[in-house]
Amino acid sequence: MFGAGGGTSSYREIEETDLIIMWGWGSNAREAHPIFFHHVLKGVHNGARMFAVDPRRTSSAAWADVWLGIDVGSDIALANAVGREIIHHGLQNQEFIDEATEGFEEYAAGVEKYTLEKAEEITGVPAEAIRQLAHEYANADTAQLCWTLGITEHHNATDNVLALINLSLLTGHVGRYGSGLVPVRGQNNVQGGGDMGALPNKLPGFQDVEDSEKRARFEAVWGAEVPSKAGKHISLMHEAMDDGDLTALYIIGENPLQSEADSTEMLRRLTNLDFLVVQDIFLTATAELADVVLPAAGWGETEGTFTSSERRVQRVRRAVDPPGEAHDDIAILSAVARAMGYPWVTPTAEEAWDEMRQLSPLHGGMTYARLEESGGLQWPCPDEDHPGSLFLHGRLWERPIASRRAPFHAVEDDPPVDTLTEEYPIRLTTGRRLDSFNTGVQSGRYSSPRRIPGVLDLSPEDGASIGVFEGDRVTVTSRRGSLEAPVRFDRSLRPGLAFMSVHFPDDVDVNVLTLDAWDPKSGTASGSSLWFLPDGPPRSPRSSHRRGAVGC
């Protein structure tokens, strides 16, 4: 946000804030980020009001004072209407806007057409609830706007985030203790990966690859030339694979065959490659396609750091030996480098970290010793006397503002690429469940009493109108493919909305259905799509009815 990619706040702030907005679909913090939700609930018990914006009335939304059941993909229309309502009632923080932001006029003009009525039409949420959200957000002393995967795994992910950032700028709910923007990360170290430069356009510490001055510092320390152009993000890589420009792929710790949208396409791409290397702790479905598989040591078997959603860098340690021939990633990469003729000595995790610290000002003060002692430090932490940063962008409250103003970005509603038609009448969203994780490579290996296998969650009303019962197997078809799955009724779904988890690709590969329409700004794929239940003969209740609904 405004440069560095990280949540602006700390978990503890949400315990003391006045208003919490959980904004996001397809993901449900209560289940996907349970311990983060503990902090949310502390806030709620301390008196914070809570709004939840989600097509499903999830177990997170069940805690909200107001739940807004928007249509999938209508987040921007909702956010813009909230912005317009705030402006029309003069509730914006004009001092903050004047002193710390730019582009307000364009933004105000841009949201003008998003009246409450129009937003109601686009989002399906009653205008009154939108009005309430706008007024409470604007009037709160402190407010935390949180989102999870739902907002970002979407074809216009970046615009979604910008629409929310706009709201925080409008109200001054950023850069202060208790007020901020909180994207909760889906993977243990997705934050750290980005921090470390595992992005096509960034060097460690969010330093631009195309900035020659920055590059020069890295080249001096690394003794090697750094490519001067940004690389391709994943969706562009897909395109390059399709175009035959990208013919060799080295995948570390990912299972794209099962985790990426539109898996039929993905299989074709991977098998068309000239050369595929997969480095992983398991022989995943993707690894089975590889020319070379490098067995890696996994979590619990290696040293290093993870960075959490509150920008907290924490130590990760080795507790047990890796099995068989497996080695940690640093050792494998060093060995590959040596095999390529570079005289790399395998560094320890700490040595690699210390080298990075020299180059990334955000991490400069984070020695292993300090990380150990403090239970983790939050970046920016530029030097060894710095205590780390609870929240970002405090600079926006300096008067006069000493650095760059925060820009508004007018963004437009952009409905889902897949439209609902008579032929494809039901909207599918995908997401996680409590006890499982991504494609189930790790989480599938423990016995969970809460496991809900690959099923199609439907509203009981849709079940009735289609003529299916719980437990019936149905064929689910989207414009891209079809699969079979048993039906499960979920009362948190409204008619016209369905849900599937992504955890059981071997049984029910939901990404066969989903659309690989990607966001041109961040390269995140859209997880939503349409699907259709074929008109099969209605099944008899006797043979298929199992038992009553199981809530979640």
- Subset of 450-479 contacting other proteins (CB under 8 A): 450, 459
Binding to other proteins by residue 78, rule CB under 8 A? no
Number of residues near other proteins (by CB under 8 A): 100
CB of 390 to other proteins, least distance (A): 6
Question: According to CB under 8 A, which one of 5, 59, 214, 289 is a site residue for other proteins?
Answer: 59
> Going by DSSP bridges, is the β-strand pair 66-68/49-53 parallel, antiparallel, or unpaired?
parallel
CB of 33 to other proteins, least distance (A): 5
* Interaction mask 121-140, other proteins, x per CB under 8 A: ---xxx--x-----------
Q: Which amino acid is at 223?
A: G
Binding to other proteins by residue 283, rule CB under 8 A? yes
The residues, ordered by sequence, that sit 6+ positions from 542 with a Cβ below 8 Å of its Cβ are: none
Question: According to CB under 8 A, which one of 23, 114, 306, 408 is a site residue for other proteins?
Answer: 306
Site for other proteins in 380-399 (CB under 8 A): 387, 389-391, 394
> Going by DSSP bridges, is the β-strand pair 456-458/406-407 parallel, antiparallel, or unpaired?
unpaired
| Helix segments in 89-115, DSSP class H | 94-100, 104-111
Question: According to CB under 8 A, which one of 229, 399, 445, 542 is a site residue for other proteins?
Answer: 445
Binding to other proteins by residue 301, rule CB under 8 A? yes
Nearer to other proteins, 90 or 375 (CB): 375
CA dihedral 330, 312, 159, 95 (to 10 degrees): -150
Binding to other proteins by residue 494, rule CB under 8 A? yes
Binding to other proteins by residue 310, rule CB under 8 A? yes
Count other C-beta atoms under 10 Å from residue 92's C-beta.
20
Point out which span in 104-112, 257-265, 308-316, 413-421 binds other proteins (CB under 8 A).
Answer: 308-316
Binding to other proteins by residue 428, rule CB under 8 A? no
Point out which span in 90-98, 293-301, 352-360, 419-427 binds other proteins (CB under 8 A).
Answer: 293-301
Nearer to other proteins, 231 or 300 (CB): 300
* Interaction mask 406-425, other proteins, x per CB under 8 A: --------------------
- 245-279 residues labelled b (16+ CB within 10 A) or e (exposed): ebeebebebbbbbbbbbbbebbbebbeebeebbbb
Nearer to other proteins, 65 or 354 (CB): 65
Backbone angles phi, psi at 80, to 5 degrees: -65, -35
Binding to other proteins by residue 443, rule CB under 8 A? yes
Query: What H or E segment, with its residue span, contains residue 431?
Result: strand 426-431
CA distances from 484 to 141, 306, 459 (A): 50, 38, 18
- CA 136-140-141 angle, 5° bins: 175
| Residue 116 near residue 81, CB atoms below 8 Å | yes
Binding to other proteins by residue 437, rule CB under 8 A? yes
Site for other proteins in 506-525 (CB under 8 A): none
Nearer to other proteins, 99 or 136 (CB): 136
Residue 484's Cα: distance from chain center in Å?
Answer: 27
Beta bridge partners of 304: 316
Binding to other proteins by residue 334, rule CB under 8 A? no
Helix 157-171 crosses helix 127-139 at what angle (to 10 degrees)?
A: 50
Site for other proteins in 15-34 (CB under 8 A): 30, 32-34
Binding to other proteins by residue 186, rule CB under 8 A? yes
Binding to other proteins by residue 326, rule CB under 8 A? yes
Point out which span in 55-63, 85-93, 463-471, 525-533 binds other proteins (CB under 8 A).
Answer: 55-63
Query: What H or E segment, with its residue span, contains residue 542?
Result: helix 541-544
